[in-house]
């Protein structure tokens, strides 16, 4: 359950915010409880699976299923790359 809550925060930040002026983004939550298939998958497909980055069979991690993404969430790597360092997704504004 913690992973799903964190994933919600992370994906909302990735999908709805833009970097600007070198400042870090702060994730916000609207209180909803999305699931991977209903709301999160479309965000991942649009931002992480593009150009062969995290698609099926990728050596960088397969985010096409919740199972593939959940390990990265649990390890803290997703939080580090997307929220803390804001280095992912590559080429994002």
Query: pLDDT digits over 56-82, tens only?
Result: 888 888 999 999 999 999 999 999 998
For 39, phi and psi rounded to 5 degrees? Answer: -140, -30
14 close to 46: Cβ distance less than 8 angstroms: no
Write out the chain in H/E/C secondary structure: CHHHHHHHHHHHHHHHCCCECCECCCCCCCCCCCCHHHHHHHHHHHHCCHHHCCCCCCCCCCCCCHHHHHHHHHHCHHHHHHHHCCCCCCCCC
pLDDT band at 92 (very low <50, low <70, confident <90, very high): low
Q: Taking 90 as the threshold, does the pLDDT of residue 14 lie above it?
A: no
């Amino acid at each position: 359950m913690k992973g799903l809550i964190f994933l919600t925060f992370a994906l909302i930040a990735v999908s709805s915010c833009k970097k600007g002026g070198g400042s870090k983004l702060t994730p916000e939550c609207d209180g909803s409880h999305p699931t991977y298939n209903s709301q999160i998958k479309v965000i991942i497909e649009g931002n992480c699976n593009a150009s062969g980055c995290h698609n099926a069979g990728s050596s960088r991690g397969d985010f096409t299923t919740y199972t593939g993404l959940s390990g990265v969430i649990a390890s803290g790597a997703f939080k580090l790359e997307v929220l803390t360092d804001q280095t992912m997704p590559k080429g994002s504004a």
